[in-house]
Amino acid sequence: MTQAKDRSRRSFLKGSIAIAPIAVVGISGAVASNGQRAVAPGMPPADQPTADNYTPGYFTPEEWVFINAACDVLIPRDANGPGATELGVPQYIDRQMQTPYGDASRWYMQGPFFKVEPEFGYQSKLTPKEQYRLGIRAINGYCRKNFSGKTFAELTHAQQTDFFKKLEKGDIKTDDFNAKTFFSSFLLKNTMEGYFGDPSYGGNKDMASWKMIGYPGVRADYLEFVGEAKPYPYAPVSLYGKRG
């Protein structure tokens, strides 16, 4: 049963790689208009995201604990490959909050806003920064009320997984905040971006997720390997020329 779950999860992750790097480039503000990397002041180099030397620039200590716990639940380490926290995904998310993406400065944010299906576009006055701040507060508040005063990070891994499943289905309601939208449109999406995106954005440390699935990165020529039922035989290359 465990092996079947692992295969199912990794199949989902492998299918996601086709869109994840594109999504990162599309919404990220981590590249400035002149094509150079935009690094927030006081932050370590984006290609060296380690939990030991990283101080979050946006998230509070309680929020940072939540982000790390959530990323570990969404993409945990297993026999097939590393987890999201190992690859610097929490750092990636924190960096994104310090770019134009975090402030939604490149989005159309004027009302009115309607309750419609996701394909009609984002419908909220809240920026990504505000989604995270209010979303984490709402989830921890719900957990404290329903799990004997414990925050999300203090729950067992099984409880956290079950909570996210119910949240994604819309079975969990929080007061005056759409936690389902926060989970699906921001937390889950940004976690996938950080896991599969180029290391220059702060996640995918050492291109480990690319190596795991045999993705070549930004190599210019690998057409002879397209369609072959075997892993790409060479190390991946990042956006700025670093080899995995």
Averaged pLDDT for residues 209-238: 77
pTM: 0.77
Distance from C-alpha of 63 to C-alpha of 66, rounded to nearest angstrom: 5
| Bond preceding residue 112 cis, omega within 30 of 0 | yes
Instruction: Give the tens place of pLDDT for each residue, 169-182.
Output: 999 988 888 999 99
Nearest to 84 by CA among 203, 222, 242: 203
Q: Is the pLDDT of residue 18 over 50?
A: no
Q: Quote the DSSP letter at residue 136.
A: H
Least confident stretch, 128-132, 173-177, 190-194: 173-177
| Tokens of residue 138, six digits | 């709402």
User: In 3-state terms, what secondary structure has residue 234?
Assistant: coil
The alpha carbon torsion through 14, 22, 129, 93 (nearest 10 deg) reads 50
Q: Is the pLDDT of residue 25 over 50?
A: no
Q: Is the pLDDT of residue 146 over 50?
A: yes
Instruction: Give the tens place of pLDDT for each residue, 76-122.
Output: 999 989 999 999 999 999 999 999 999 999 888 887 888 877 777 78
Computed over every residue of the chain, the mean pLDDT equals: 80
Instruction: Give the pLDDT of residue 29.
Output: 42
Q: Is the pLDDT of residue 186 over 70?
A: yes
The answer to whether 196 and 181 have CB atoms below 8 angstroms apart is no
Instruction: Give the pLDDT of residue 244.
Output: 67
Provide the H-helix boundaries in the chain.
Answer: 2-16, 20-27, 61-74, 89-96, 100-103, 128-146, 157-169, 179-182, 188-196, 208-213
Least confident stretch, 80-84, 111-115, 133-137, 161-165: 111-115
Q: Is the pLDDT of residue 164 over 70?
A: yes
Which tops the pLDDT comparison, 101 or 220? 101
Nearest to 178 by CA among 141, 109, 131: 131
**Scanning the structure block, which residue is given the tokens 């969990």?**
172
